[in-house]
Amino acid sequence: MQQPNLTAGNREKSQMALIEAALYVTGRPLDMQTLGSVSGIRSEEKIRLLARTLVEKYRKVDGSIEIVELEDGRYVMQLRPEYSKSVRRLSTRQLLPRGALKTLSFIAFKQPVTQAYVVKVRGKLAYGHVKELGEKGLITKDRLGRTKILSTTDIFADYFNLSHNVRLMKRQLQKLFEGLGYAKQEQAITESQNKSNEH
């Protein structure tokens, strides 16, 4: 049987498969330069066209996995938020203990936020959490008088497949928290803390 010639269509299919493979293997957002080096494409326009074709392909399938174009132009393959709750216990990527992870999500949602306020809401254990988060490069700590201003880093955004743009990141987190039922819980913690301060 004669092998078909590598037509332009076949070459594009192969390049798109390489982009898909790169997104799958890394599990984090990838920029145009990285996708170009993997697929052998020099034109950013062509990379974006193939990546957007993949985004649409996954959207049509409507499965548990999606490819998302972030606001900063990077692409990421991720689990759709509505499936996270059911399978998160199976995840082997446990970066932090539960308490530190809650403190991190609070910092991300409220940033920039003072360490004093984080401790006030999350309790004294948050001092240890903040130290651990800083050591892992997930947050920055800038001194302000007696306290510190806490913000997340690009490492945090990449690890959790979030935008580097803080405003957009907060919207993504809000959607995720609502999907997991955390939004009301966090609101209740904050409200009870505020009420206790009034007395």
Q: Which pLDDT belongs to residue 198?
A: 41
Q: Tell me which architecture the domain covering 11-79 has in CATH.
A: Orthogonal Bundle (1.10)
Query: What is the residue-level pLDDT of the chain in tens, covering all 199 positions?
Result: 344 445 767 888 999 999 999 999 887 888 999 999 999 999 999 999 999 999 999 999 988 899 999 888 889 888 887 877 676 666 555 567 888 888 998 999 899 999 999 999 999 999 999 998 998 889 999 988 888 999 999 888 887 778 888 888 888 888 777 665 555 545 544 444 444 444 4
**Cα 140 to Cα 53: distance, rounded to the nearest angstrom:** 36
Q: Which pLDDT belongs to residue 6?
A: 55
What fold, for 98-198? Arc Repressor Mutant, subunit A (1.10.10)
Q: Whole-model pTM?
A: 0.53
**Cα 6 to Cα 12: distance, rounded to the nearest angstrom:** 10
Peptide bond just before 29 cis, omega within 30 deg? no
* Residue spans per domain, the chain: 11-79, 98-198
Q: Which pLDDT belongs to residue 189?
A: 45
Q: Do domains 11-79 and 98-198 have the same CATH topology?
A: yes
Q: Which pLDDT belongs to residue 3?
A: 40
Which of 122, 171, 117, 173 has its CA nearest to residue 146? 117
